[in-house]
Structure 1
Amino acid sequence: MLKHPFSDVPYEPHLSALLRGIEIYDREHTLGEELQKYNPNNAEDREKIINLYILPALNYLSYRHKFVLIKNLENALLKRETDFNLLFESDYDDPRTIAWDETEIKDAYGFFERILKNSKEKWHNDLIKAASEDQSEW
């Protein structure tokens, strides 16, 4: 069974992990201000957000973790009823705060679709390696 990095807890990929790189709680005056220079609804800015903040924040994951997370994202995108806007919502019981809330993201589905495309390009070799293994042995 695949475990969380650095622990013995079973790894369950959550789509919210894909937004870790743009979480600004307690970093509003540093990362938050930096991210406000970008418009997540603009195609060029979205590319920068994904390639400069989102994907690098996941570099701590092994190739197996990346594979499982991306498979989870693929499955969620196939289910058209998945509400990706919820991932941008503020939860007052959770200190996690995303740089833009659900009212500022015009196409949350498209945002995650782009994360999928970019991650498949950037992590191509890792994803191929993991796919070639027997996942039941993890």
Structure 2
Amino acid sequence: MMLKDPFLNERFEPDLMWFVGIFDVYDREESKGVELEAYDPNDQADRSMLIKKYCLNQPYLSYRHKLALVENLEAVLKDPNFDFQAIFEIDECETNSWPREEWYLLESPRRFFQDVYQLATEIWKEDLLVAASEDKSTW
């Protein structure tokens, strides 16, 4: 058994893009881009609101997906050499874009993910407890 991607019939990879890919506004600059442009990801209050409203509000993620994401995030946060800025870098050949300039070079990309972790462990607490109580080999 394996935990499946919510959209594809393949193994779920709990990488950090699950938390920030939701902010990609490519080809939606006039709608989602305008909505997200109002928030500064470097501002603590705005960042918390963005994380709660978008990163942690993905109804297609099961409680098992949430645990896998949080465990992966916890592991990378323990790595002092992990390049969090790389998550926000977009190759000019890619069809992705962030809602405002600040996303391309955050003051502290690690802080952004520390906030995601802190809020996820609070907001997803019940789901995480249920998933942690299961035998992962049955997923």
For the criterion TM > 0.5, the same-fold answer is yes
- Runs (5+) with no aligned partner, structure 1: none
Shift of 1:35: 1.3
* Alignment of 1:39 onto 2:34: no
Give the counterpart letter for 1:59 in structure 2: P
Structure with the larger RCO, 1 or 2 (CA within 8 Å, 6+ apart): 2
| More moved, 59-68 vs 29-38 | 29-38
1:26-72: CA deviation from partner (whole Å, max 9, x where unpaired)? 1111111221111111111111111122221x221110011101111
Residues 59-138 of structure 1 aligned to structure 2 (within 5 Å): 59-99=59-99, 100-103=102-105, 105-138=106-139
Provide the aligned C-alpha RMSD in A: 1.4
- What is the percent sequence identity of the aligned residues? 39
- Runs (5+) with no aligned partner, structure 2: none
**Matched residues in 2 for 1:13 and 1:93: separation?**
24
**Matched residues in 1 for 2:46 and 2:27: separation?**
23
TM normalised by structure 2 equals: 0.90
**Matched residues in 2 for 1:3 and 1:34: separation?**
31
TM normalised by structure 1 equals: 0.91
Q: May I ask how many residue pairs the two structures share in their alignment?
A: 136
**Matched residues in 1 for 2:65 and 2:53: separation?**
20
**Matched residues in 2 for 1:71 and 1:87: separation?**
17
- Match in the other structure for 2:21: 20
Shift in alpha-carbon separation, 1:10–1:107, aligned structure 2, 3 A: same
